[in-house]
Amino acid sequence: MIRNGVEIQDTFAEAFGMRGTRLIVTGDNLKWAYHGATALTGFATSVIACGVEAGIERKLEPGETPDGRPGASVLMFATSSKELGAQVERRVGQTILTCPTASCFAGLAEGDAIPLGKNLRYFGDGWQSSKVVDGRRFWRVPVMDGEFVCEETTRMVRAVGGGNFLILTVAPADALAAAEAAIEAMRKVPNVIMPFPGGVVRSGSKVGSRYKTLPASTNDAFCPTLRGVVNSELPAAAGCCLEIVIDGLTAADVRAAMRAGMDAVCRRGRDQGVVALSAGNYGGKLGQFHFPLREIMSEGAAQ
């Protein structure tokens, strides 16, 4: 399959079941809402070492938030319910409770309840108070700029993490430009995040390592400097590879984001250094969600 001179390799992305939630962070203005949301999602690129994968989904207008202030929608994903609950509570306590003017609310109406402000309220040292509005309990915790307002619980749903595709190009500058175009298109798709810096991964990994203590190590098959000493999967014309990883609330959301991103890369075409699109998988043995690249691109062409 060729799109604008770009080969779509006959492979699939392998993704995994996760637990996900959406939080709404608001502030007196968008700047402070984003200060809180950015801190909340810091060091949250991969569950391999971070415990959670998180990112800002989009900005929210005042009419879209519970308190009528500007805000940001944040998605968070973990491999277990216990870990997601712990990460949400710890991160909100350290980054939203501490952020001037910021408040935090549940962003999902359905799913299993996990604590949000339920335990953070005790920071109020007995001065905290609560109010129920339309069946939702909110806690008001006195802080030095007034009050920290936080919903008691948020909702957690089954989600999908680790959707991905690889961008193979002639040179590093070509790969970065193509990845930036892909991320710009993918950020218009709801219910997904690309959790790595700028949405892009240069250190794609494989399962396992020659060092027994490491669960993952560099994906040597796509490292251009190792082309002559490993079983390389880089085409002859490719001198660089970058990866985009997607987490979404549903498999359909991940699929839609992949299609938008891959289409944006293909629009740049071979003339702008894009050689091929590929994906990371583990032979289909580890993840229950498979996303065939050619099938997804065929759907996009039909639409």
All domains in the chain, ordered by first residue? 2-15+159-302 (3.30.70.520), 19-157 (3.30.70.520)
Residue 120: CA count within 13 A, CB half-sphere: 34
- The residue written with tokens 């129920």 in the block is 132
Q: What is the CA radius of gyration of the chain?
A: 21
Q: How far apart are CA 236 and CA 221, in angstroms?
A: 13
pLDDT at residue 286, as a whole number: 78
pTM for this model (two decimals): 0.94
pLDDT at residue 300, as a whole number: 63
Write the single-letter amino acid at 38. T
Closest C-alpha among 17, 145, 127, 171 to residue 79: 17
pLDDT at residue 301, as a whole number: 62
Q: How far apart are the first and last CA of the chain?
A: 17
pLDDT at residue 283, as a whole number: 80
pLDDT at residue 177, as a whole number: 98
Task: Note down pLDDT in tens along the chain; length 303 residues.
Answer: 999 999 999 999 999 999 999 999 999 999 999 999 999 999 999 998 999 999 999 999 999 999 999 999 999 999 999 999 999 999 999 999 999 999 999 999 999 999 999 999 999 999 999 999 999 999 999 999 999 999 999 999 999 999 999 999 999 999 999 999 999 999 999 999 999 999 999 999 988 899 999 988 999 999 999 999 999 999 999 999 999 999 999 999 999 999 999 999 999 999 999 999 999 988 877 789 999 999 999 986 655
